[in-house]
Amino acid sequence: MMIKKLHDLYFKELVSKEEISKIVKTLAYQVKQDLPKDEKPLFVGILNGCFMFAADFLRAYNGDCEISFVKLASYEGTNSSESVKKLIGINEDISDRTVIILEDIIDTGTTLQEIYEIFRTKNIKELKIVSLFFKPDVYRKELHINYIGKNIEDKFIVGYGLDYDGLGRNLNSIYQLTTQPKMKNIVLFGPPGAGKGTQATLLKEKYDLVHISTGDVFRFNIKNETELGVLAKKYIDAGDLVPDEVTINMLKEEVNKNPEAKGFIFDGFPRTESQAKALDSFLAEKSERINGMVALEVPEDLLVARILERGKTSGRSDDTDEEKIRNRFNEYNTKTAILKDFYEAKGNYYGVDGVGAIEEITDRLSKVFDTL
Ligand code: AMP
């Protein structure tokens, strides 16, 4: 999910540009349908926020029409206690016209009510209101809104013409205010035997993070003969990847078990592109993100020897048989290695030399962790 920073605040995508486009087209179609065949309505956009909506709405409106824009301005009255509202922009004679107001968003309805009162004095034939977004929970007026694009909850939104302190109007989608990420979430990456588990155990202490090794969780479940363990066993024994759906659900559960965590070290996850995408959207729902993928880079021939050595004591069925080890590398090279590109494209990939003494490698990793 996309996160944007405007001034000091973070926003996450709420309505995609495709969805907006559908909504706008539907509104334009409905408005046209409900008008007498030869009616030439005067659309009135309420500036500033509506300019994008008005432009797209008009392009989607299939019939003769006019458009004008107004702005609501407050003036101090001569009597300093009263504030007078005035519409700037409407100079033409609009009597006997069908006027259709285009609003980007209606929340309490105060502004809309004021605009409505002003138009009511102008002897028009009919006045209708179209609003792209509407916040039903905070609307306080009786005034009927004829067309609503989408109801949204009462959270601050930006994009598609709407701004936060001047910024964000040029965004193509609608973004909703979110809280700033608080966690440090790191994907510790590397081929089988690269030392991810060893390093994660050291780094989680140092940085006060929760370490989730999907391999360890699977092995724990196998040992305890849980349903998940029984399911995963045949894949793991063969050195195959466990199916994404199973792994993703398990990972979410592990994360949710630690609501107080300051962050996570993900070890052995994600291993496929769909896992990586699922992780991104899962974290985005929590207003969090992956700070970086830190990869241990070790040549493959060194790794097989390391795994066979580990197999003497690890008790892992997939560590002793060279054919299974080869299959794990095959899975890694065909499904997992591409994740480097996935994170690199976001400027989030950090490669670290994984050859050397354990402490040396911890130092190298720490240098990267410190910057994330
Ligand atoms: P590991 O301990 O990370 O080497 O994982 C051991 C085995 O668990 C792998 O060979 C897979 O069979 C399974 N596994 C662990 N993590 C995942 C994952 N993210 N996706 C699919 N299978 C996994």
Per-residue model confidence as pLDDT tens digits over 330-360: 999 999 999 999 999 888 999 999 999 999 9
Compute, in angstroms, the gap from residue 235 CA to the centroid of ligand 1.
9
Cβ pair 342, 278 in contact under 8 A: no
Domain boundary among 178, 206, 224: 178
pLDDT tens, 23-54? 999 999 999 999 999 999 999 999 999 999 99
| Predicted TM-score of the model (pTM) | 0.62
Q: What is the CATH number of the domain that holds 336?
A: 3.40.50.300
Task: Answer whether residue 139 shows pLDDT above 80.
Answer: yes
Task: State the average pLDDT for the chain.
Answer: 92
**50 and 100 co-located in one domain:** yes
Nearest CA to ligand 1 atom 15: 215
**Catalytic residue selected from 219, 289, 310, 324:** 310
Domain boundary among 122, 147, 178: 178
Annotated active-site residue 196? The verdict is yes
**Catalytic residue selected from 196, 204, 289, 324:** 196
Cα separation values, 131 from 54, 58, 294, 352, Å: 10, 14, 46, 52
Ligand 1: residues with CB < 6 A are: 192, 214-215, 218, 235-236, 239-242, 247, 268-269, 271, 275, 318, 328
pLDDT tens, 91-100? 788 899 999 9
pLDDT tens, 55-95? 999 999 999 999 999 988 766 555 545 556 778 887 788 89
Q: Where are the alpha helices (DSSP H) in 138-213?
A: 196-207
Compute, in angstroms, the gap from residue 65 CA to the centroid of ligand 1.
62
Cα separation values, 186 from 131, 166, 203, Å: 42, 34, 11
**158 and 226 co-located in one domain:** no
Compute, in angstroms, the gap from residue 366 CA to the centroid of ligand 1.
25
Pairing of strands 3-6, 9-15: antiparallel
Domain boundary among 144, 178, 212: 178
**124 and 242 co-located in one domain:** no
Q: Which atom of ligand 1 is nearest to the CA of 214?
A: 16
Q: How many beta carbons lie within 10 A of that of residue 302, not counting itself?
A: 13
**18 and 165 co-located in one domain:** yes
Cis peptide before 48 (omega within 30 of 0): yes
Q: What is the CATH number of the domain that holds 86?
A: 3.40.50.2020
**221 and 320 co-located in one domain:** yes
pLDDT at position 75: 63
**130 and 198 co-located in one domain:** no
Number of folded domains that form the chain? 2
pLDDT tens, 153-188? 998 999 999 999 899 999 999 999 987 788 999 999
pLDDT tens, 249-283? 999 999 999 999 999 999 999 999 999 999 998 99
DSSP 8-state secondary structure symbol assigned to residue 181: P
- Three-class SS state of 326: helix
Q: What whole-number percentage of the chain has pLDDT above 90?
A: 74
CA distance 331 to 216: 18
Can you give the residue range of the structural domain that contains 351?
184-369
Count the alpha carbons within 13 Å of 32 in the hemisphere toward its beta carbon. Answer: 15
Cβ pair 332, 192 in contact under 8 A: yes
Quickly state the pLDDT bin for 10 (edges 50, 70, 90): confident
